[in-house]
Amino acid sequence: MAVSIRTAVAGLCAGLVTALLTGGPVRAEQHEQTWDLSTGAHAPRARVALDDTTGTLSFAVSRDGRTVIEPSPVGIVTQQADLSKDLRFLHSKDRMVDERYRTRSGKRLDRRVRMKETRLSFATATGARLDLVVRASADGVAYRYALPGASGDVLRETSAFNLPADAPAWLGTYRVDNEGQFVRHTAATAPTGEYSDQALFETDGGYTLLAESDLTGAYSGARLAHDQGTGTYRIKLADDRISTDGPLVTPWRAMITGDLATVTRSTFTDDLAPASRIRDASWIEPGTVLWTWLAGGKEAGQSLAAQKAYVDYAAERNWPYEAVDAGWYYKPGEWETVDPDWQTDSWMPELVRYARAKGVGIVVWIHQRELDTPEERDRWLPTLERWGVRGVKIDFMNSEAQPMLRWYDTVLAETAAHHLMVDFHGSTIPKGIQRTWPHVMTLEGVAGEEKRTNTAAHLTTLPFTRNVIGSMDFTPGAFHRVGLRPNSDAAEVGLAVAYESGLQMFAGTPESYDQRPLARAYFDQVPAAWDDTRLLAGRPGEEAVLARRGGDRWFIGGVYAGAARTAEVPLSIGAGRWLVETIEDGPDGLVLRRQVLSGGDRLAVDVVAGGGFASIACRWRPGITTCHR
């Protein structure tokens, strides 16, 4: 009899474990059904619960038995149905997502995707259907809504994230250009308002970065609405009403979670996104760029002679691109007035030919309003391709509403068709766009180098927030803006590695680089696409030290907020002996220090207030005296 009881109990426990791992339903309490999804013992675990009394759904996340996201409401309301309550469970379907893909830029070029997916189907008493699709991987969990039948326009989501009230939070106030600074609060004490959906929280289950993926013109961009005194952050959509026609699949509500190193290295939002829509991507080439806006302003944008001089400098340094910003197609001496004869009178074709002969590609700025209609795009894009322009920097979208997202869908396809790489400014943030459209090399969506009010704390938060989800056009290297930036020269060099961007636009003047030959030589070496990325040390708002591998060399960038100190950074880049060349701030300018260290040793760096450093590490053997090539 005792053996039978033990056998029955063992069988019950085995069934429970199987249900937990496969996403099957579990009767947790008398009044609810639950479904758990996870890829392993130490991976984040998503739990969906259906309250049998109210028919409402909730979504919670834990890691190693500790809270990441507390049970949070899930649901969507359409013109024809309220799919946030009175739901009953129909059935579920499980599958594995196992993919490999390669990107043209980013923190890691070769990607492996392994996720478990559960599709939970529900219905209301009137027969309205809601499918909740949940995915879990080693570095995140996500869900999205699928409405199998026509349900009318979407009116709102009831989706929200409930965080422990005392959870440290790094939040950027929402702006249409996504250029809010990140400031530390706690989940409950953050002021009432709207915040960017790229919000970072720390709980006893680790760090969690909220994000979005696979956002298209079929839907609307999300932001977080918060009332002070609670740990709840509600999804608020950019549109009061989202136009739909037939079945609908919403973007992913993503939670990148783990320790800080896992979050920083994650490619989860790209992994969730659809595969590349560009069959032949060989023309897409990341690289460093001499950007002339902060270097020369409006006058440089209207001067062929000035642009040729910048091309000469880029060629001398072997920088692959030069970017011509606003002014080049405006009437001479005027601003905001397009020259009606720009296609025939422009000096741009001459500049492109001049640059091509020197091995330099040209990227041009263009206002979104010049690409707003099919007729305008038919004038501009084929002409730029015919001239040989390599990329376009499109500016001032300043919206994540459905009409603008539909414009993105169109312009992405058309720029790809004309072999034009893209840098979006005044824009949305990546949200998986770079996997689906790999010719998107970078996006602004950040309070970058142009801003005059940035803080060192903001600079040290970006690697853990905005830059986690995709390339970020911060435009480092503006050494000449002394007093307008909060960091030291060595920290400015370090930003070229701490911040990832497929087109890494250097914002300084040639004179400022020549006055800092160590920085100039470092920029000559630094890649714009990476084979691997690792966080060596960091704490949002305090310090960020990232190592990125290009071939057989590691480039290390460190930025710090606060007082001067001696920083000790674990050299976690592999076993063996390494020659490490480090650029630091010295009493009279930048200095270079060389040393041989073993993998796992600590790299000690004297950091000034608001300072940082930049290093190159290469394998050492007798006779190796420098990592520069």
pLDDT grade for 27, boundaries at 50, 70 and 90: low
**Is the pLDDT reported for residue 93 higher than 90?**
yes
Query: Are 348 and 386 contacting, i.e. CB atoms less than 8 angstroms apart?
Result: no
Question: pLDDT tens-digit profile of 528-563?
Answer: 999 999 999 999 999 999 999 999 999 999 999 999
Report yes or no on 613 lying in a domain.
Answer: no
Task: Count up the domains in the chain and report the number.
Answer: 2
**What is the per-residue pLDDT for 336?**
81
Angle between helices 489-498 and 517-525 (to 10 degrees): 0
Report yes or no on 471 lying in a domain.
Answer: yes
Report yes or no on 336 lying in a domain.
Answer: yes
292 and 152 together in one domain: no
305 and 348 together in one domain: yes
pLDDT grade for 298, boundaries at 50, 70 and 90: confident
Which residues on adjacent β-strands are paired with residue 35?
A: 25, 48
Report yes or no on 561 lying in a domain.
Answer: no
Radius of gyration from C-alpha coordinates of the chain: 26
pLDDT grade for 73, boundaries at 50, 70 and 90: very high
252 and 320 together in one domain: no
| 518: enclosing H helix or E strand | helix 517-525
Residue 452, classed as helix, strand or coil, is: coil
Q: Are strands 76-78 and 154-157 parallel, antiparallel or unpaired?
A: antiparallel
- Count CA within 13 A, CB hemisphere, residue 94: 16
Q: Indicate the burial class of 240 (C-beta count within 10 angstroms; 0-12, 13-18, 19 or more).
A: exposed
Q: What is the distance between the terminal CA atoms of the chain, rounded to a whole angstrom?
A: 77
Question: pLDDT tens-digit profile of 225-244?
Answer: 999 999 999 999 999 999 99
Distance, CA of 302 to CA of 294 (rounded, Å) = 14
Residue 45 CB: number of other CB atoms within 10 A?
23
Active site residues: 395, 450
For residue 538, give the amino acid letter. Answer: G
Report yes or no on 605 lying in a domain.
Answer: no
pTM above 0.85, yes or no: yes
Report yes or no on 280 lying in a domain.
Answer: no
**What is the per-residue pLDDT for 107?**
96
**Is the pLDDT reported for residue 23 higher than 60?**
no
Q: What is the largest CA-CA distance in the chain?
A: 97
pLDDT grade for 334, boundaries at 50, 70 and 90: confident
Residue 494, classed as helix, strand or coil, is: helix
434 and 518 together in one domain: yes
**Cα–Cα distance list, 118 to 39, 98, 264, 515, 590 (Å):** 12, 14, 26, 58, 54
Q: What DSSP letter does each residue of 63-87 carry, written as one string?
A: ETTEEEEEEEEE-EEESS-BTTSS-
- Quick one: tokens of 375? 């007729």
Query: Are 33 and 50 contacting, i.e. CB atoms less than 8 angstroms apart?
Result: yes
| 160: enclosing H helix or E strand | strand 160-162
- Quick one: tokens of 161? 């994230």
Average of per-residue pLDDT across 60-87: 97
Cα 272–chain centre separation: 13
The CATH number of the domain where 323 resides is what?
3.20.20.70
Which residues lie closer than 8 Å to 521 by C-beta, 6 or more apart? 628
Distance, CA of 9 to CA of 514 (rounded, Å) = 75
The CATH number of the domain where 53 resides is what?
2.70.98.10
Query: Are 571 and 603 contacting, i.e. CB atoms less than 8 angstroms apart?
Result: yes
Distance, CA of 570 to CA of 551 (rounded, Å) = 21
62 and 86 together in one domain: yes
| 253: enclosing H helix or E strand | strand 252-258
Distance, CA of 1 to CA of 455 (rounded, Å) = 71
407 and 449 together in one domain: yes
232 and 291 together in one domain: no
Q: Which of 247, 272, 297 is the last residue of a domain?
A: 272
**Is the pLDDT reported for residue 604 higher than 80?**
yes
165 and 223 together in one domain: yes
**Is the pLDDT reported for residue 1 higher than 60?**
no
Question: pLDDT tens-digit profile of 352-379?
Answer: 999 999 999 999 999 999 999 999 999 9
Question: pLDDT tens-digit profile of 473-527?
Answer: 999 999 999 999 999 999 999 999 999 999 999 999 999 999 999 999 999 999 9
Distance, CA of 501 to CA of 238 (rounded, Å) = 27
Provide the residue range defining the domain that includes 347.
Answer: 287-530
**Is the pLDDT reported for residue 108 higher than 60?**
yes
Which residues lie closer than 8 Å to 272 by C-beta, 6 or more apart? 135, 142, 213, 214, 252, 254, 432
| DSSP-derived secondary structure letter, 180 | P
Average of per-residue pLDDT across 564-571: 98
Where would I find the H helices in 302-401?
Answer: 304-317, 342-345, 348-357, 374-387
Distance, CA of 330 to CA of 604 (rounded, Å) = 51
**Cα–Cα distance list, 129 to 77, 122, 148, 237 (Å):** 12, 6, 7, 22
Q: Interior CA angle at 620 toward 616 and 622, to 5°?
A: 140
Report yes or no on 448 lying in a domain.
Answer: yes
Angle between helices 293-301 and 304-317 (to 10 degrees): 150
- Quick one: tokens of 300? 């440089």
231 and 299 together in one domain: no
Q: Are strands 391-395 and 361-367 parallel, antiparallel or unpaired?
A: parallel
Question: pLDDT tens-digit profile of 400-424?
Answer: 999 999 999 999 999 999 999 999 9
**Sheet-wide strand order for 612-619:** 532-539, 543-550, 553-560, 612-619, 577-586, 589-598
342 and 458 together in one domain: yes
**Sheet-wide strand order for 232-237:** 25-29, 32-37, 45-51, 57-63, 66-74, 160-162, 232-237, 222-226, 193-195
Report yes or no on 73 lying in a domain.
Answer: yes
- Quick one: tokens of 14? 């085995």
**Is the pLDDT reported for residue 21 higher than 80?**
no
**Cα–Cα distance list, 281 to 121, 284, 298, 420, 436 (Å):** 38, 6, 33, 11, 12
384 and 345 together in one domain: yes
Question: pLDDT tens-digit profile of 489-504?
Answer: 999 999 999 999 999 9
Angle between helices 304-317 and 348-357 (to 10 degrees): 20
**What is the per-residue pLDDT for 379?**
97
Distance, CA of 329 to CA of 362 (rounded, Å) = 15
Q: Which of 478, 511, 530 is the last residue of a domain?
A: 530
pLDDT grade for 335, boundaries at 50, 70 and 90: confident
Q: Interior CA angle at 390 toward 385 and 392, to 5°?
A: 85
**What is the per-residue pLDDT for 25?**
61
Average pLDDT of every residue of the chain: 94
Q: Which of 530, 552, 585 is the last residue of a domain?
A: 530
Which residues lie closer than 8 Å to 19 by C-beta, 6 or more apart? 25, 26, 36
**Is the pLDDT reported for residue 301 higher than 90?**
no
379 and 471 together in one domain: yes
pLDDT grade for 30, boundaries at 50, 70 and 90: low
